[in-house]
């Protein structure tokens, strides 16, 4: 069996024995959700990457204390959330809203481009106004495409809680976008 197919438990056991390749597989396996989660706390991708790196290193240090009979994923995300919360407490500027990176795209039509820019601004503004948990649930599920149960594990909450927060976030965003749709039709 290759390392990529190995179970988390097996990879954890090998990592404990000093197998760096096994650790690398664990990193690759959980990198994407870890980065998505970290970015909910960090103002930029660079900061989120640093958080993820620190989270994985802290998990590695604490692996001896990890109960291997329990699932690895929730344990890892708990560590990552703690790392992120500590970082937020350390950096006052992280409380400010991060400006998203500009995506280069082909703009087909100036009017359409203007509309889309405004739409995006409104969405971002609407997202920023949401409570953090609603924003995280909506962004991770509806934008980044993670499944609800996975997001629940990432955030350390019940799947039903994620559904509730998504529902509320959608309602709030729908309200924020209604005005723009009306303006466009007019």
Compare residues 31 and 89 and give the one whose CB is closer to another protein. Answer: 31
Please give the residue ranges that form the binding site for another protein (CB under 8 A). Answer: 18, 20, 23-24, 27-28, 31-32, 35-36, 39, 45, 49, 52-53, 56-57, 60-61, 64, 100-101, 103, 115-116, 119-120, 123, 139, 142-145, 170, 173-174, 177, 181
Rounded to a whole number of angstroms, the minimum distance from the CB of residue 157 to another protein is 21
Rounded to a whole number of angstroms, the minimum distance from the CB of residue 97 to another protein is 13
Compare residues 88 and 123 and give the one whose CB is closer to another protein. Answer: 123
Nearest in space to 130 (alpha carbons), one of 157, 104, 164: 164
Rounded to a whole number of angstroms, the minimum distance from the CB of residue 152 to another protein is 19
Compare residues 63 and 133 and give the one whose CB is closer to another protein. Answer: 63
Compare residues 24 and 132 and give the one whose CB is closer to another protein. Answer: 24
User: How far, CA to CA in Å, does 158 sit from each of 52, 107, 128, 130, 184?
Assistant: 23, 41, 23, 19, 39
Q: What is the DSSP letter of 156?
A: T
Rounded to a whole number of angstroms, the minimum distance from the CB of residue 144 to another protein is 5
Rounded to a whole number of angstroms, the minimum distance from the CB of residue 21 to another protein is 9
**Rounded CA separation 65/7 (Å):** 19
**Rounded CA separation 26/62 (Å):** 15
Compare residues 123 and 133 and give the one whose CB is closer to another protein. Answer: 123
- Inter-residue contact 154 to 78 (CB < 8 Å): no
Within 10 A of 170 (CB to CB), how many other CB atoms are there? 14
- Inter-residue contact 144 to 163 (CB < 8 Å): no
Rounded to a whole number of angstroms, the minimum distance from the CB of residue 47 to another protein is 13
* 51 phi and psi angles, rounded to 5 deg: -65, -45
Compare residues 31 and 160 and give the one whose CB is closer to another protein. Answer: 31
Burial class (CB in 10 A: 0-12, 13-18, 19+), 78: middle
């Amino acid at each position: 069996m290759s390392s990529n197919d190995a179970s988390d438990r097996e990879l954890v056991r090998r990592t404990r024995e000093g197998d760096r390749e096994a650790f690398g597989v664990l990193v690759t396996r959980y990198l994407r959700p870890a980065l998505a989660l970290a970015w909910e706390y960090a103002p930029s991708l660079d900061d989120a990457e640093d958080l993820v790196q620190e989270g994985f290193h802290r998990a590695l240090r604490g692996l001896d204390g990890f109960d291997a009979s329990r699932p690895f994923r929730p344990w890892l995300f708990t560590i990552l959330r703690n790392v992120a919360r500590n970082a937020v407490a350390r950096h006052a500027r992280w409380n400010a809203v991060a400006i998203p990176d500009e995506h280069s795209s082909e703009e087909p039509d100036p009017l359409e481009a203007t509309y889309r820019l405004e739409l995006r601004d409104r969405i971002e503004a609407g997202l920023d106004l949401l409570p953090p948990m609603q924003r995280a649930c909506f962004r991770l599920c509806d934008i980044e495409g993670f499944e609800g149960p996975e997001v629940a594990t990432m955030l350390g909450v019940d799947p039903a809680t994620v559904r509730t927060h998504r529902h509320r976030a959608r309602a709030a965003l729908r309200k924020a976008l209604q005005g723009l749709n009306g303006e466009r039709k007019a």
